[in-house]
Structure 1
Amino acid sequence: MKRSAASEYALILLTLLLVLGPWEGVVRAWRISPFIVPPPSAIGQALFVGFRANTYTVHLLYTLAETLLGFFIGAAIGCALGIFVARSLLLERIFYPYVIAFQAMPKIAIAPLLVLWFGFGIWSKVAMASMIAFFPVLVNVITGLRAVDRDAVDLLRSLSATEAQIFRMVQLPTSLPYVFAGLDIAIVFSLLATIVAEFVGSQVGMGNLILQMNFALDVAGVFAVLMILSAVGVGLHLIVVKIQRRVIFWSNTGYVMGT
């Protein structure tokens, strides 16, 4: 297991070097302006200087707080409504078209309204992240609960099992892989939604930092922030999948590096 994990990490590192090496060489050989595409060495220097000066820390923590709070709120509402809607086809027919219509709205157009309603503080970003996290969780909860083996449900009912017992023994275990798939999508999209909201109106956060660096023509700094956000997104994904592996250990779905 450890040898397999070490080999996997080595391949990941090798792939990264195969990308960064030619990138550095092409930029320097063709003398591409750092204001267009900076070399990886300049991006690495920007990362080092930024972390040493704590430039990224406050902004990153602020963005993470907004992302996680919005994710938990949106996921909780999505789970609750999903359980409620999955129990009735009539409710789904009535409720679902409005959900689809709301989801079809371009969220970038909603962001200025959220800033107008909730201000430049944390809550406009939390609201944006919640809206994005809500839909994939809702859909996957409904799909998971509808994927239950009807024969198993009928068997438990014939044994006088209560609805709570049926939910705990059959519906919940069956739906969990679907729920975690929705959570995996939702947490990454919540990060994206937070950044978009910070672009529109924020005084702190990684999105605001990108705008500041753009105005200062610090292209290497922008690339550095993008790499940090990519790493954070991968980290959030891996956390969800790790939890999934712990909770639904009987399922083979999900992927975690080194396992």
Structure 2
Amino acid sequence: MKNVRNVAVTLAIFAGSLGAWEAIVRAFAIPIFILPPPSQVALALYRGFASGLYLDHLGYTLLETLLGFIVGSLLGFFLGTAVAMNRWVEFFLYPYIVMFQSLPKVALAPLIVVWFGLGLTSKVINAALVAFFPLLVNTMVGLKSADEDRVSLMRSLAASDGQIFWMLRLPNALPFVMAGLDVAMIFALIGAIVAEFVGAQRGLGMLIQSMNFNMDVSGQFSILLILSFVGLVLNRGIMLIRKRVMFWDPSEKPAIETSPEEAVPAAGRAVATPAKERI
């Protein structure tokens, strides 16, 4: 019942915001090429999906995002594991990783497009480069945060480094890794869109650029709405995977709600206990 009420309040706030937006645009007669009303954005959204234009470009952008996310996540996880578990790798390799990450990806995107062309490869590489660093850092922090007393205990029981990794360090690092995946997924979407802005044959980013040249602001708003929804869906997908993988973690277990009938006797017992102690 509480969840239904929360959803209803959220929808009411959203509808009120759209109504206020529509009213302000019409009251002040704001030109449509500056700020279109929600009705025009909805019309552009309908036309794009009805013609099949948005579906084609949306599928291509999703493919770029998912492939870039997979490549960047694997690279970040394995490289983060190597840096965390080997001091020599951390000493010689990690400074170069930080230096490379400090480079703006917007500046690298034109070079990547020149090197790998306007097709799928350049978009996947750019998305992977943007996505891999959050998972790299979170993997390093998670693996290094294992309790040293437990590590020493396992070593005293003749556990090998592999057993310590699989039975202690990796389970301890899973919350950090899943948090990194959550950020990496959104970053992969941003990286794919940035690469499409620079140069692409298909994709929502290329479509936004085309509409910008035609001054189709309503269409641009409709694509931004699609991208927001896609980001939300991808985020929810990572959250579902997190709950499946980390079913043992207390933070993933739903809170037990106490009914008012159960709360009254509990409060009565809490008050009665100190009274008995005084007697």
User: TM-score scaled to structure 1, two decimals?
Assistant: 0.94
Equivalent pairs: percent with the same residue? Answer: 48
2:65 aligned partner, one-letter code? T
Change (3 A) 1:254 1:229: farther
Name the SS of the counterpart of 1:133 in structure 2.
helix
Off by >2 Å, runs of 4+ in structure 1: 88-91, 250-256
Change (3 A) 1:156 1:177: same
Q: Is the 8 A contact 1:241 1:254 kept in 2?
A: no
- Aligned pairs for 1:1-259 (under 5 A) are 3-253=1-251
* Aligned positions, number: 254
Name the SS of the counterpart of 2:221 in structure 1.
helix
2:8 aligned partner, one-letter code? A
Q: Work out the CA distance in 1 between the residues paired with 2:63 and 2:253.
A: 25
Unaligned runs of 5+ in 2: 255-279
Q: Is the 8 A contact 1:66 1:126 kept in 2?
A: yes
CA offset digits 1:141-185 (Å, max 9, x no partner): 000001101111111111112222211211111100000111111
Q: Which has the larger radius of gyration?
A: 2
Q: Work out the CA distance in 2 between the residues paired with 1:255 and 1:147.
A: 23
CA offset digits 1:14-72 (Å, max 9, x no partner): 22112211101000111111110000111111111111111100100000001110110
Q: Report deviation, 1:9.
A: 1.8
Which moves more between the two structures, 245-254 or 16-25?
245-254
Q: Work out the CA distance in 2 between the residues paired with 1:184 and 1:80.
A: 17
Change (3 A) 1:252 1:224: farther
Q: Report deviation, 1:255.
A: 11
2:128 aligned partner, one-letter code? S
What is the root-mean-square deviation in Å for CA atoms of aligned residues?
1.5
**Structure of greater relative contact order (alpha carbons < 8 Å, 6+ residues apart):** 1
